[in-house]
Amino acid sequence: MENPKRNFTDEELIAGCLQNDRYSQELLFRKYFPTMMKMCLRYTNDREKAMEIVNTGFLRVFTKLGSYAHKGSFEGWIRKLIYHSLSDYFKSNSKYLQFLVFEDYEKTAKPEALTNVYAEDIMKMVKLLPPATQQVFRLYAIEGFTHVEISKMVAISIGTSKWHLSAARKQLKELIQENNNFQLYAG
């Protein structure tokens, strides 16, 4: 691929990447990087972590490009792979996200209810929390900050940080229970 001013189609970029053409890989990365970075920054407020997730995701994109079936949106396919990298990151680097949400819940829930909920589902549920509660939950459960650090970052008291975490856990437990009830009736 020779002309740097020319806009290449996704099909041309895919063909070049499948031939291991570095220029095609760079163009594909540059084309979709901003959108994928924004997506990752919605889940983590740390640019370095988001960059790590996006880079890992694009490695996955280049590795699996041969399996792209040319059905649906190519950007959607990339987004799905980046989202899986995001999910993998949270699974391996969170402070035991499921444990945090479920530690009291396990006493009252049926064990099989927990197997129906995955980290991706929890992250979708986190997005339903009120903004301040969501922010504290993300900072504590995902980013690994303490209540003291959160209180300084967000300019709230330590007690307020703890309250938001407690509220988040309560609301997530309710959402998880609703999800499990839905699966019982839908399945």
CATH number of the structural domain spanning residue 154: 1.10.10.10
Report how many domains make up the chain.
Answer: 2
Q: Which amino acid is at 55?
A: N
4 inside domain:
no
80 inside domain:
yes
20 inside domain:
yes
Q: Which amino acid is at 4?
A: P
Query: What global pTM score does this model have?
Result: 0.55
Query: pLDDT digits over 17-29, tens only?
Result: 999 999 999 999 9
pLDDT at 99: 45
Query: pLDDT digits over 66-107, tens only?
Result: 999 888 889 888 988 888 888 778 767 654 454 445 444 444
118 inside domain:
yes
| Cβ-Cβ contacts under 8 Å for 142 (sequence gap 6 or more) | 43, 44, 90, 94, 95, 97
- Give me the domain span that covers residue 131: 97-186
Query: What's the mean pLDDT when you consider all of the chain?
Result: 79
* Shared domain check, 101 and 41: no
Distance CA 123, CA 63 (A): 26
* Shared domain check, 89 and 107: no
Residue 112, pLDDT > 90, answer: no
Q: What is the CATH number of the domain that holds 80?
A: 1.10.1740.10
* Shared domain check, 144 and 107: yes
Which helix (H) or strand (E) segment holds residue 10: the answer is helix 10-18
CB 74 within 8 A of CB 35: no
pLDDT at 179: 72
* Shared domain check, 173 and 101: yes
* Shared domain check, 80 and 115: no
143 inside domain:
yes
Of the candidates 55, 73, 93, which is a domain's last residue?
93
3 inside domain:
no
Of the candidates 58, 93, 128, which is a domain's last residue?
93
* Shared domain check, 150 and 75: no
2 inside domain:
no
Length of the chain, in residues: 187
Of the candidates 42, 75, 93, which is a domain's last residue?
93
